[in-house]
Structure 1
Amino acid sequence: MIDWAQVRQLREDIGLEELSGVVAVFLAEAEEAIEELKSQPPDAGDQMAATLHFLKGSASSMGFVAFAETCAQGESKAEKGQVFDVSVGDVVRLYQSSKAIFLKGFPARFAEGK
């Protein structure tokens, strides 16, 4: 569900302190996008596709691979006008479970000196 190698690479690229800030920004922006997704009207296919595209890209860079893939699938459906085939509930649940796994594993894997 989480690509820890991706997270380690990001830590190597920007450092632990910066990574912690990036994580905080990602989680805040993802939460905001999830709320937007939940409140979008059913006929807002372009808006849904744009929100899912944003979530897909952000999640991918943070190593949330399963969530990013689900967002990609939803984005594709929304772009084709198949908004009723996108399960926003599934997207939300996968984000929440991915976030929980990430927050549980992040401190243990990325504490100073590890």
Structure 2
Amino acid sequence: MIDWDRVNELKAEVGTEDFREVVTLFLEEVDEVIDRLKSRPDSTRFEQDLHFLKSSSLNLGFATFSGLCRDGERAAREGQTAAVDLPELIAAYLSSRSEFLARVNG
């Protein structure tokens, strides 16, 4: 679910203090998009939103979630917005977020 090698690589690249800031910013921005997808899904924005989520999450090692975003982005680009499984995508993010925070803060 989480690519811990990527997490450790990023932490080494930016340092512990900046890593905390990166994580905080990532969570704020991704939570905002996830909240919008939960409360006001707009299929005309799926490709853009999923591209953002894919890129951001891949950078922080959320491998499973990023893969689902990639697949959803591709479907949206091909006009298959009905194929984007938002409940699965949101559940994957919440699981990844929980696992990530438990290990990083633990």
- Normalised by the length of structure 2, the TM-score is 0.94
Equivalent positions of 1:29-108 (< 5 A) are: 29-38=29-38, 39-42=40-43, 44=44, 47-108=45-106
Which blocks of at least 5 consecutive residues in structure 1 are unaligned? 109-114
Which AA in structure 1 matches 2:59?
A: S
SS in 2 for 1:40: coil
Give the whole-Å Cα distance in 2 for the aligned partners of 1:24 and 1:54.
Answer: 16
RMSD value, Cα: 1.0
- Separation in 1 of the partners of 2:76 and 2:20? 32
Q: Which has the larger radius of gyration?
A: 1
User: What is the Cα deviation at residue 35 of structure 1?
Assistant: 1.9
TM-score, with length taken from structure 1: 0.88
The one-letter amino acid of 1:5's match is D
**In 2, distance between residues paired with 1:79 and 1:33?**
18
Percent of paired sites with the same residue: 36
Residues 65-87 of structure 1: CA distance to partner in whole angstroms, max 9, x if unpaired?
00000000000000111011111
